[in-house]
Amino acid sequence: MPDAAARTASAKLYRPKLATTLAEGYGLDHLKKDAMAGLTVAIVALPLSMAIAMASGVSPDRGLYTAIVGGFLVSALGGSRFQIGGPAGAFIVLVSATVAKFGVEGLILTVFLSGVILALLGLVRLGGLIRHIPHAVTVGFTAGIAVTILASQLKDLLGLKLTEAEPGPILEKLAVLGRALPTLSFASVAVALTVIAVALGLRRWRPALPGMLIAVAAATLLATLLHLPVETIGSRFGGIPHSLPAPHMPVFTPELIIAVLPAALSFTLLGGIESLLSAKVADGMTGRLHRSNMELVAQGAANVGSSLFGGIAVTGTIARTATNIRAGAVSPVAGVLHAAFILAFMLLAAPLASFVPVAALAGVLAVVAWNMAEKEEFRSLLGDRRTAAVVLATFGLTVLHDLMAGILAGCALAALFWAVSRLRRRRA
């Protein structure tokens, strides 16, 4: 009997929550709740997906492909009832660096390899280990990513015209942007500030409304009616396609695989941490328990799927997952429908995206950066000398160098402090 029980428990480790939900019984009332939640999340995800893609150095349609294909697979195969997958602000730094170094084809191969590694981590049951990364490290790199995202949007927020390439390192970037300040566009600033003011205002006074979508729509209407001289998605990218592209395999060469492997490992680490943290937040909000290994397998499948359609990195997103729960979702069907609603937008309303000002999407990401930085938590961690050292080391290296350096330094410092305190207790 114990062996049978163990086999049953093991089987459930790799059973998608969608299958569990449907086996428990799923009726019309459930579908109505999930449809409303899925529509709500799609409205939030629509401008975010395009903004994140543009900030990552690719065209906005690739963000939509990621939300549609990745979002569908995360919900259909995942180990959480409420997880919403898609492009995430945390990946902007990694994706943009990968595009700059290896091009779009190199990025797609990186996403593919990351997906394979994530699935393998889940299959060998390493899902629980990722969650042991110290809290101070996660707060530090999240704040560091927020600062980096904001810095990456300054050019479009201010409508600056650069005469030289925009550097990746933040100090060099700020120097180049500073020299370009005389080209500042007051129209772009007005559009970005409109988005920021409307989004933050609605978040405070009308949190039930889709603040970001309303903000982008208002700024787009303002720019169009007043004929403001601002760059739009249409003028920069020529709009977005009306449908998904045909799937195709990434370009595989031994040299390119070896070259992008370090980036793929970074994608894997961040994707695993972000997804499992998001699933854990969902557990806390609902009282449910996610299956961490199944979640990693699903995230892996979602990244492989996204890469086949030309998308970027997929991960579980905390803000959209929380929105899904607050909107009344009862099962993974809500996440599946969220992907379907975004696909419907591409099929029916893609031309409207051409009118959206680039500065409006920069404003969206400025709000994302502000919201994702755990300011109060960061401040509270500074109260203890050791945790302050960990969070500041992680934050500083994430901003000044890169994410992997920040995480590795933070984890190493936390491990050192733990080993020293353990040694002192033994001697005492």
Q: Name the pLDDT band for 82 (thresholds 50, 70, 90).
A: very high
Is 248 domain-assigned? Answer: yes
Domain-embedded: residue 362? yes
Q: If you average pLDDT over residues 112-121, what whole number do you get?
A: 96
Q: Quote the tokens at residue 199.
A: 């989004």
pLDDT score of 203: 85
Does residue 384 lie in a domain region? no
Beta bridge partners of 315: 86
Q: What is the pLDDT of residues 367-402, one digit of tens each?
A: 878 887 788 989 999 999 999 999 999 999 988 887
Q: Examine residue 142 and state whether it is found in any structural domain, yes or no.
A: yes
CA of 326: how far to CAs of 73, 86, 422, in Å?
22, 18, 42
Q: Does residue 123 form part of some domain?
A: yes
Task: Assess whether pLDDT exceeds 60 at residue 6.
Answer: no
Structurally, the chain folds into a number of domains equal to 1
Is the pLDDT at 29 greater than 70, yes or no?
yes
pLDDT of residue 130: 66
Mean pLDDT in residue range 53-60: 89
Q: Is pLDDT larger for residue 310 or for residue 45? A: 310
What is the residue whose two structure tokens read 């990244």? 303
Place of tokens 């995480």: 407
Query: Which residues are registered as beta bridge partners of 316?
Result: 85
Q: Is the pLDDT of residue 4 over 50?
A: no
Read off the pLDDT of each residue in 205-233 and give the average, rounded to a whole number. Answer: 88
| pLDDT tens digit sequence for 168-201 | 778 888 999 999 999 999 999 999 999 999 989 9
Q: In terms of residue numbers, what domain contains 295?
A: 14-376
Structure tokens at 157: 């927020």
Q: Give the model's pLDDT for residue 296.
A: 95
User: What is the residue-averaged pLDDT of the chain?
Assistant: 88
Any idea how long the chain is?
A: 428
Q: What percent of the chain has pLDDT over 90?
A: 49
The predicted structure's pLDDT at residue 285: 81
User: Running DSSP on this structure, what letter comes out for residue 384?
Assistant: S
- In this model, does residue 33 exceed pLDDT 70? yes
Supply the Cα-derived Rg of the chain in whole angstroms: 22
Lowest mean pLDDT among 119-133, 165-179, 345-359, 376-390: 119-133
Task: Encode burial over 173-209: b for 16+ CB neighbours within 10 A, e otherwise.
Answer: beebbeebeeeebebbbbbbebbbebbbebeeeeeee
- Of 425, 413, 426, the closest CA to residue 386 belongs to 413
What pLDDT is recorded for position 7?
43
Most confident of 115-119, 143-147, 324-328: 115-119
Asked if the structure places residue 382 within a domain, the reply is no
> Residue 186 in contact with residue 156, Cβ under 8 Å?
no
Q: Please answer whether residues 374 and 142 qualify as being in contact, where contact means their C-beta atoms are separated by less than 8 angstroms.
A: yes
- Is the separation of the CB atoms in 16 and 79 below 8 Å? yes
Does residue 383 lie within any of the structural domains? no
Nearest CA to 336 out of 19, 15, 35 is that of 35
pLDDT band of residue 8 (cuts 50, 70, 90) is very low
The Cβ of residue 311 has, within 10 Å, a number of other Cβ atoms equal to 31
In 3D space, the residue among 413, 379, 381, 410 whose CA is nearest the CA of residue 394 turns out to be 410
pLDDT for 308 beyond 90: yes
* Residue 100, in any domain of the structure: yes
Please say if the pLDDT value at position 166 is more than 90: no
- In this predicted structure, the answer to whether residue 94 has a pLDDT above a threshold of 70 is yes
Q: Is the pLDDT of residue 75 over 50?
A: yes
* Residue 265: pLDDT over 80: yes
Reduced DSSP (H G I as helix, E B as strand, rest coil) percent helix, strand, coil of the chain, to 5: 75, 0, 20
What is the biggest distance separating any 2 CA atoms in the chain, rounded to whole angstroms?
76
Q: Name the residue among 282, 336, 314 with its Cα closest to residue 38.
A: 336
pLDDT at 428: 65
